[in-house]
Chain A
Amino acid sequence: MAITKDTIRQIAGLAKIGLTDEEAERFARDLSKIDTFVGQVAKLETEGVAPATHSVQMKSVYRDDVMIPSLPREELLANAPEHDGSGFLTPKVLDEG
């Protein structure tokens, strides 16, 4: 089934990727083709097959509850597009909790 431009717009909304109209159209075309290609896997008979999240080991891996020093703040903030010396700054958001 072809993926429409509206679907692309909706997905891009979730992905937070701003698209021009031309891009939305192009990606709709591309993703439709990819979807046809990927569609094979939906046809596979998988009755009774367990899904695999990993290929190799499947046992718990833990670390002990031990504190280790954090990164000095100036190093933490060094890559930030905008900061005030103590925290990262973004355009104002409404608190959604």
Chain B
Amino acid sequence: MAEANTAAAASEYKAVIGLEVHAELATDSKIYCGCSTTFGGEENSHVCPGCLGMPGTLPLLNRKAVEYCVKAGLALNCKINPFSRQDRKHYFYPDLPKGFQVSQLDLPVCQNGWLEIKSGDGVKRVGINRIHIEEDAGKLIHGAADTKIDCNRGATGLIEIVSEPDMSSPEDVYAYMEALREILLYTGVSNCKMEEGSLRCDINISIHKDGEPYGVRTEMKNLNSLSAAKAATAYEIKRQEKVLREGGVLFQATLRWDDDKGLNYVMRVKEHADEYYYFPEPDIMPIVVTPEEIRLIRDTLPEMPKARRERYRERYGLSEYDAGILTVNKALSDLFDQAAGAGAPAKTCANLIMGDVARLLGEKGLPPEQAPFDGSALAELANLVGEGAISSSAASKVTEMLFEPVYAGKSPKAIVEEMDLGQVSDESALREMCRQVVADNPKIAADYRGGKKQAISALVGQVMKASQGKANPGMVNRLLQELLQP
């Protein structure tokens, strides 16, 4: 009874949700100096006088950081500002060496875009308010008595993607993050390794009853996985509903999500707006992006995953599921496109990628970008399967060999020949083999003839074994059926 009431009450409120997503840029060097952006490494081993904020040092803006920001903006349908600027945002914290963060206040690189996400059975457009570049802070390591600062991550380039408050459920948040992640990965703007903190989000939530003004907004900081973002959103909506239902008052507050405990707690209540005394960064010249530069960057944009999935279904007749799996990773999707685009049977290509290739990449611990062969090799392999020249188990074997350094650069055809994996489709030879197997297994043959039709698979297996896996299983099946006819 009580439960039913709760559920009924919950539906009175509408949630208004906006996200601020920070993505670390996939540049080799930091945003204002030449230090490496490699994750990990010894503490304070990727730090120079510049990113430590020593006096007299000067920032030099990494061209690639601006290009990546523009690229993300174009992929998210934003307007690119021809003139933008960096500003200094001041606050004191030990992870911020200069006492200010270089960010962008009123003139960001990108503004007014949108992203389409799955919502329920349909799709929904979430507005992108702005995307700007800024620098990351260092990392704090809390000891018993003191706090240690590791500046390796400090001054790594970030983009902050600020959405409009167009989301209304935890599912929306998940779908938005998923879609955004996909786009950032496809454009190469960020490696989006949430476990390394290279993609994180802050979630702003308020609730209100239909027809009433928006409620008091809270901000949850630093969610670093899609599932945490979803769970934290669900928790915060419920928490706000509970406070309001019980006649309580919500405060504008900054919250922290504890993913282990599955709850949030208040970090601080905001009594008045923060003072960051921003002003234009005098050491960095304004960022001017010309139409020509925008065109050049637009030309480098890859086809986005959503468009790829549609194309895979329409042109290659793949299932929605297969199309979804293939586009999870851009490198695998590119591999498929190269192979299927070269005319190889699409379904076979997809099966090879989703099966053996994915499995072997996992076993070898290789990222898909480092697969040791290209789409033309995969096309050749798929064609061999399609023509019946090799069996699917032989194809597995060839795929395995393609991952072996000794076969590096060899074509699948050459491997098939070298390993003698060619499928035996010679009917008279196969018939002789089948005859022998039937003769050697009179009991199984009798079972089959007696009506146990599944017994045939045991005989097929025997023939395959006898042929060392090279017999064409389809033909073997047919020949055995002919031989066993009463």
Contacts and interface: CB of A to CB of B under 8 A. Distances in A.
Interface centre among A59, A93, A97 (most CB of B within 10 A): A97
B146 A65 contact: no
Given A62-B60, A96-B93, A68 B142 contact: no
Nearest to A62: B63
Nearest to A77: B44
A9 to B, nearest CB: 14
Given A14-B277, A57-B285, A65 B27 contact: yes
Contacts of A22: none
Contact-residue bracket for chain B: 35 or more
A91 to B, nearest CB: 6
B46 to A, nearest CB: 5
Q: Is the contact region of chain B dominated by helix, strand, or loop, or is it mixed?
A: loop
Contacts of A68: 29, 33-35, 48
B449 interface: no
A65 B35 contact: no
Q: Is the contact region of chain A dominated by helix, strand, or loop, or is it mixed?
A: loop
B62 interface: yes
Contacts of A95: 140, 142
Contacts of B282: 53-54
A90 B63 contact: no
Interface in A28-81: 53-54, 57-71, 73, 76-77
A20 interface: no
A93 B93 contact: yes
B208 interface: no
A15 B334 CA distance: 53
Contacts of B43: 73, 86-87
A73 to B, nearest CB: 5
Interface centre among A54, A67, A84, A89 (most CB of B within 10 A): A67
A66 B288 contact: no
A35 B385 CA distance: 84
A70 B64 contact: no
B448 to A, nearest CB: 68
A48 B141 CA distance: 50
B46 A97 contact: no
Given A90-B149, A91-B147, A97-B222, A16 B92 contact: yes
Interface in B156-210: none
Nearest to A16: B92
A63 B44 contact: no
Contact of A66 (B29, B94, B221, B287): B29
A92 B29 contact: no
Given A70-B48, A95-B142, 9 more contacts: A63-B63, A64-B63, A68-B29, A70-B46, A73-B45, A73-B47, A87-B44, A89-B146, A96-B267
Interface of A: 14, 16, 53-54, 57-71, 73, 76-77, 82, 84, 86-93, 95-97
The 4 nearest A-B residue pairs measured at CB: A68-B34, A62-B63, A65-B64, A87-B148
